[in-house]
Amino acid sequence: MLLPDYCYYYYYYYYYYYYYYYYYYYYYYYYYYYYYYYYPETTYALLKKNANSAINS
């Protein structure tokens, strides 16, 4: 028994969104380490600022 067309459309749309989400996640992760490698002081300052903001909130 074949599924209706909208079921296939929903399945492929979900798969595409899932793949795009992981691609964006790994790209962000790579960019973060690249930035940290070239600007360690700035990155540390940003992390410290974010940590303080989280604690103070």
Domain assignments of the chain as residue spans, ordered by start: 5-56
Distances (CA, A) of 16 to 2, 7, 12, 23, 48: 21, 14, 6, 11, 36
pLDDT at 32: 82
Position 48 scores a pLDDT of 75
pLDDT at 56: 65
Q: List, run by run, the mean pLDDT of 10-residue segments along the chain (57 residues).
A: 72 87 87 76 70 65
